[in-house]
A and B are shown apart, each in its own frame.
Chain A
Amino acid sequence: MAKKEINIFENYLVPKHEIMTEEEKQQLLKKFNISLKQLPRIKERDPAVKAIGAKKGDIIKIERKSETAGVAYYYRVVV
């Protein structure tokens, strides 16, 4: 039996994941005055990371629905 393809982003619980460009990346690191090590991490084998094809060292921008703020952005570095 062929494996059924599932698009995990269709599930309402999975927030939008986006790979940041090199320029955006530098901007972000500068904005918070941090190195990559200080960002929250996400595993390379995370299903969402695999789905958008991010590589080690990429920063992923996550757009979450927030109870307090409406939309909240979160940034995680792929390790």
Chain B
Amino acid sequence: MTMEITSIDFKLLSPQMIKKMTTVRIDKAELYDPDGYPIDGGLSDLRLGVIDPGLRCRVCGATAGNCLGHFGYIELTKPIIHPLYAKRIYQLLKVTCRKCGALLYDKSDKKISLKNVYKNPLKVCPQCKEKQKKITYQKPTLFREDSKELTAEEIRARLEKITDEDLKLLKIRGGRPEWMILTLLPVPPVTMRPSITLESGERSEDDLTHKLVDIIRINERLKKNLELGAPDFIIADIWELLQYHVSTLMSNEISTLPPARHRSGRPLKTLAQRLTKKEGRFRGNLTGKRVNFSARTVISPDAKISIDEVGVPKYVAKELTVPERVTKKNIKYLKELILRGPDNYPAANYLIRSDGIKKKITEENKEAIAEEVTIGYIVERHLQDGDIVLFNRQPSLHKVSIMAHKAKILPYKTFRLHPCTTIPYNADFDGDEMNLHVPQTEEAQVEAKMLLAVKDNIRSPRYGLPLISCKHDQITGTYLLTREGTVLDKKEAAHIFMLIGKENENLKDSYTGKEIFSALLPSDLNIEFKSAGCVGCPHCEKHNCPYDAYVVIKNGKLKHGVIDDNALGEGKGKLINIIERKYGSDKIKEFLNNVSRVSIYYVTHHGFTISISDQMVNKNITTIKEKKISETRKNVDHLIKSYKSGRLKPLPGFDEKGSLELLIQSEAGKLMNSMSKLIKTKIKENSAVIMAKTGARGSYVNLTQTSVLVGQKAIAGKRIFRGFRNRTTSHFKKGVLDLKSHGFVFNCYKDGLDPFEFFFDAMNSRENLMDKSLQTRHSGYLERRLVNALQDLKVEYDGTVRDSSGRIIQFVAGEDGMDVGKSDNGEINFNLII
């Protein structure tokens, strides 16, 4: 069982405690004597710990690395206010008597709560009847009573007078309040502030050491001046300087204090700066760490490698290594690698002897090292083809943001990834960079291979449909190949069969595209489904579909229909879905590889492009458009007229004006829809239409906007009403409600927009842009908080959801014990299982 933490206490350090935990009193500002030997009582006193390797600690006897160091202390000549507790001190001063230290509140008055004590302390002490003076606080460490400054000594004396019972009432825990005024200052051990010896032999001290030197120097000066009986104002000046140095030791980012600077002008990094912010100890070193055996570079596509591979530049492969233990079986092979020299890929970089000594292999010593290799040694060899690596793109929002690939060593300088795997990573190739990690133990490699492999993560864990799937040109390619009328001659067919490893000597003279595609399918596959090109006729003619949009696969032969987004696309992928279910992950990997190769081959050799002529529509459509527009205008005018005359019947839940808006918007929508339908049915098939129809890229809405009309522009879901009083711009009459003046665009992008339309379009675009950036930021942060809260919850083998200490969160995961990632969009298709 895990150990349980009962409680954690944070307390103030008392002077006695400081004395107890420290080993040496530090009072010399010098670090080393003229011979370079550490001075006793200086900041590098040997009793503060060891940092030089080989030496033993004088206090605990441990070697460097094992001895954590020991604290020392500085005896402050006069007390100093701890700057980070100043606020607390102020609160206490306000609520306690200046003379006897009693709480300034009436204990008999039960109406006064603790909160009110802080807000309204009594003006006269209930115990000694002393009249209280007004205390003010000035950042960072200055307290005044009326106008007289309070010294740290006086404040300490007052805090000492507060009784423990009163502190309990004030809910102040963790020790005595006077400990917030420092009399002893702990000096951190040298292990916490190591000095660096530069190449020139010069020593460079840590920022903390510099700060501590300042403190000692001023402290000693204050002491000397006190002994000499110097005038008060001089003492006060030095005291204030000491306060400044102690304050900046705690934190160098106190708003009202100028930061202490290094000689070069760089602000010193003191205690608080080591812990806080993104680069601090918590966020920078504990929650997140830098790792070895990793690489990062730009990604680019390669449809010819397998989906479970990642192309690694040779240049990177020479740096990343995999440790391999020398055995009887591989000793010869590993010796050969070593003899190649570290620069001659594939080779090896390091040899680790069984006693743990690590040796770098160089061109000069490679023979000697190869001679030395013995069974049991470990050779760190270059990354090679087939090695398991983890591949990741940030932001890592879901589990498929990190997957295990097989390395494939390639020339040039980018990581290569299969276009199908861009979907889970949400990657594109406009300059995206990705990270690669090499697991270093067999356990890690096997774990990655079994849990994170690309082929085992084809399905989205969110809804259980294919995530790793085809898009863009891959879809276009399969459509062009499988549509009616595609015929390939013997030579082309032979080439494609070669691509998928199905070379055949007895080829027919010609093949239809559907026959070629059938070669990719398992021979006993049977499935029927509608393709993305389905127009949704009221009565489906099934395999007699006039649009060839009904797919029939019988015994692994594609009989009817075209293969498009519905068969291969993300979140649909009927074909990918069934192949993965029926034949397993290796088959689906093969299938996706082959489909990609064939479709990309076909689309590149067939040729595919769009141009402005794809956006041209014939006169017929233009006349229909004009007719429909004038019809809509008439309808809208009629609506406005009936509204103005008060004859418009309001819709349920709306007033007259709201109803009018709704009706006008629906008229505009109707116009758009009829135009979309027109494009869908009447336009001749061209490249742009093919992409929209097959779901490869773009939609009919895009096509309508580019070639017929853009339609209604909106802000916050309403027509545009911004601008002048009762009108959008001064070019329209006041109070006019027609389409034109409120953001309806009658032109299309190809013809161009008139100035008003252009302006409305810009307004709309700006809103979209703003929404996009704001929304992603918010949902990103929301996701992060959710992940942070749920990160160590886990479904145990008994089906319960538990946290890291074994506490039950859910008794049955998801209340029904189902893994949606293994379902078909939340449902279970029993026919596929049985």
- Please report A residues at the B interface, Cβ cutoff 8 Å: 32-34, 37-40, 64, 66-69, 72-75
Q: How far is the CA of A66 from the CA of B807 in the complex (A)?
A: 22
A37 interface neighbour in B798, B807, B817, Cβ under 8 Å: B807
Taking A37-B807, A38-B806, A38-B807 as contacts, is the C-beta distance between A32 and B815 under 8 angstroms? Answer: no
Which A residues touch B809, using CB under 8 A? 40
Which A residues touch B371, using CB under 8 A? none
B806 lies within 8 A of A69 (CB): no
Q: How far is the CA of A38 from the CA of B803 in the complex (A)?
A: 10
A69 lies within 8 A of B815 (CB): yes
B816 lies within 8 A of A38 (CB): no
Q: Within 8 Å of chain A (Cβ to Cβ): is B814?
A: yes
Which A residues touch B814, using CB under 8 A? 68-69
Given contacts A34-B806, A75-B811, 10 further A-B contacts (CB under 8 A): A34-B808, A38-B805, A39-B807, A39-B808, A40-B808, A40-B809, A68-B814, A68-B815, A68-B816, A73-B811
B803's closest neighbor in chain A, by CB? A38
Which A residues touch B816, using CB under 8 A? 66, 68-69, 72
- Please report B residues at the A interface, Cβ cutoff 8 Å: 798, 800, 802, 805-809, 811-812, 814-818
**23 pairs from A and B in contact (CB 8 Å cutoff):** A32-B811, A33-B798, A34-B808, A37-B807, A38-B802, A38-B805, A38-B806, A38-B807, A38-B808, A40-B807, A40-B808, A40-B809, A66-B815, A66-B816, A68-B814, A68-B815, A69-B812, A69-B815, A69-B816, A69-B817, A72-B811, A72-B812, A72-B815
Q: How far is the CA of A34 from the CA of B802 in the complex (A)?
A: 11
Q: How far is the CA of A72 from the CA of B800 in the complex (A)?
A: 13
Question: Do most interface residues of chain A lie in helix, strand or loop, or is the interface mixed?
Answer: mixed
Q: How far is the CA of A37 from the CA of B802 in the complex (A)?
A: 13
B4's closest neighbor in chain A, by CB? A37
Which B residues touch A73, using CB under 8 A? 811
Taking A66-B815, A68-B815, A68-B816 as contacts, is the C-beta distance between A32 and B800 under 8 angstroms? Answer: yes
**Chain A's nearest CB lies how many Å from the CB of B400?**
23
Q: How far is the CA of A75 from the CA of B805 in the complex (A)?
A: 18
Q: How far is the CA of A34 from the CA of B808 in the complex (A)?
A: 9
Q: How far is the CA of A69 from the CA of B812 in the complex (A)?
A: 10
Closest 6 pairs (CB-CB, A-B): A69-B816, A72-B815, A68-B816, A66-B815, A69-B815, A38-B807
**Chain B's nearest CB lies how many Å from the CB of A13?**
17
Which A residues touch B818, using CB under 8 A? 68
Which B residues touch A40, using CB under 8 A? 807-809
Q: How far is the CA of A33 from the CA of B798 in the complex (A)?
A: 10
**Chain A's nearest CB lies how many Å from the CB of B794?**
14
Which B residues touch A34, using CB under 8 A? 806, 808
Q: How far is the CA of A67 from the CA of B812 in the complex (A)?
A: 14
A32 lies within 8 A of B798 (CB): yes
A28's closest neighbor in chain B, by CB? B811
Taking A32-B800, A68-B816 as contacts, is the C-beta distance between A74 and B807 under 8 angstroms? Answer: no
B808 interface neighbour in A32, A64, A69, Cβ under 8 Å: A32
A76's closest neighbor in chain B, by CB? B808
**Chain A's nearest CB lies how many Å from the CB of B456?**
25
A64's closest neighbor in chain B, by CB? B815
A70's closest neighbor in chain B, by CB? B816
Most chain B beta-carbon contacts within 10 A, residue among A67, A68, A73, A74: A68
A74's closest neighbor in chain B, by CB? B811
A41's closest neighbor in chain B, by CB? B807
**Chain B's nearest CB lies how many Å from the CB of A34?**
7
Q: How far is the CA of A75 from the CA of B812 in the complex (A)?
A: 11
**Chain A's nearest CB lies how many Å from the CB of B825?**
14
A71's closest neighbor in chain B, by CB? B815
Which A residues touch B807, using CB under 8 A? 37-40
Most chain B beta-carbon contacts within 10 A, residue among A32, A33, A37: A32
**Chain A's nearest CB lies how many Å from the CB of B145?**
46
Q: How far is the CA of A38 from the CA of B805 in the complex (A)?
A: 8
**Chain B's nearest CB lies how many Å from the CB of A37?**
7
Which B residues touch A68, using CB under 8 A? 814-816, 818
**Chain A's nearest CB lies how many Å from the CB of B344?**
57
Q: How far is the CA of A64 from the CA of B805 in the complex (A)?
A: 26
Q: How far is the CA of A38 from the CA of B81 in the complex (A)?
A: 45
Which A residues touch B805, using CB under 8 A? 38
**Chain B's nearest CB lies how many Å from the CB of A49?**
19
**Chain A's nearest CB lies how many Å from the CB of B796?**
9
Which A residues touch B817, using CB under 8 A? 69
Most chain A beta-carbon contacts within 10 A, residue among B802, B805, B811, B814: B811
Q: How far is the CA of A40 from the CA of B815 in the complex (A)?
A: 15
**Chain A's nearest CB lies how many Å from the CB of B26?**
48
B809's closest neighbor in chain A, by CB? A40
B1's closest neighbor in chain A, by CB? A35
A38's closest neighbor in chain B, by CB? B807
Which B residues touch A64, using CB under 8 A? 815
Which B residues touch A39, using CB under 8 A? 807-808
Which B residues touch A33, using CB under 8 A? 798
Q: How far is the CA of A38 from the CA of B2 in the complex (A)?
A: 12
Q: How far is the CA of A66 from the CA of B809 in the complex (A)?
A: 16
Q: How far is the CA of A43 from the CA of B315 in the complex (A)?
A: 62
Q: How far is the CA of A33 from the CA of B800 in the complex (A)?
A: 11
Which A residues touch B800, using CB under 8 A? 32
B800's closest neighbor in chain A, by CB? A32
Q: How far is the CA of A23 from the CA of B434 in the complex (A)?
A: 57
Q: How far is the CA of A67 from the CA of B820 in the complex (A)?
A: 14
Q: How far is the CA of A66 from the CA of B817 in the complex (A)?
A: 12
Which B residues touch A75, using CB under 8 A? 811
Q: How far is the CA of A64 from the CA of B817 in the complex (A)?
A: 15
B799's closest neighbor in chain A, by CB? A32
Q: How far is the CA of A39 from the CA of B802 in the complex (A)?
A: 10
A68's closest neighbor in chain B, by CB? B816
**Chain B's nearest CB lies how many Å from the CB of A45?**
21
Which B residues touch A38, using CB under 8 A? 802, 805-808
Which A residues touch B802, using CB under 8 A? 38
B798's closest neighbor in chain A, by CB? A32
**Chain A's nearest CB lies how many Å from the CB of B329?**
44
**Chain A's nearest CB lies how many Å from the CB of B309?**
38
Q: How far is the CA of A38 from the CA of B814 in the complex (A)?
A: 19
Which B residues touch A74, using CB under 8 A? 811
**Chain A's nearest CB lies how many Å from the CB of B577?**
22
**Chain A's nearest CB lies how many Å from the CB of B669?**
33
**Chain B's nearest CB lies how many Å from the CB of A62?**
10
Q: How far is the CA of A38 from the CA of B815 in the complex (A)?
A: 18
Q: How far is the CA of A9 from the CA of B807 in the complex (A)?
A: 28
**Chain B's nearest CB lies how many Å from the CB of A60?**
13
Q: How far is the CA of A69 from the CA of B810 in the complex (A)?
A: 13
Which A residues touch B798, using CB under 8 A? 32-33
Q: How far is the CA of A69 from the CA of B811 in the complex (A)?
A: 13
Which A residues touch B812, using CB under 8 A? 69, 72
**Chain B's nearest CB lies how many Å from the CB of A75?**
7
**Chain B's nearest CB lies how many Å from the CB of A16?**
16
Q: How far is the CA of A32 from the CA of B797 in the complex (A)?
A: 11
Q: How far is the CA of A34 from the CA of B811 in the complex (A)?
A: 12
Which B residues touch A66, using CB under 8 A? 815-816
**Chain B's nearest CB lies how many Å from the CB of A21?**
18
Q: How far is the CA of A53 from the CA of B781 in the complex (A)?
A: 42
**Chain B's nearest CB lies how many Å from the CB of A30?**
12
**Chain B's nearest CB lies how many Å from the CB of A31?**
9
Q: How far is the CA of A32 from the CA of B801 in the complex (A)?
A: 11
Which A residues touch B811, using CB under 8 A? 32, 72-75
**Chain A's nearest CB lies how many Å from the CB of B307?**
32
Most chain A beta-carbon contacts within 10 A, residue among B800, B808, B815: B815
Q: How far is the CA of A67 from the CA of B78 in the complex (A)?
A: 69
Q: How far is the CA of A72 from the CA of B814 in the complex (A)?
A: 10
**Chain B's nearest CB lies how many Å from the CB of A24?**
14
**Chain B's nearest CB lies how many Å from the CB of A20?**
13
Most chain A beta-carbon contacts within 10 A, residue among B802, B805, B807, B809: B807
**Chain B's nearest CB lies how many Å from the CB of A25?**
15
**Chain A's nearest CB lies how many Å from the CB of B392?**
32
Q: How far is the CA of A70 from the CA of B175 in the complex (A)?
A: 55
Q: How far is the CA of A38 from the CA of B796 in the complex (A)?
A: 14
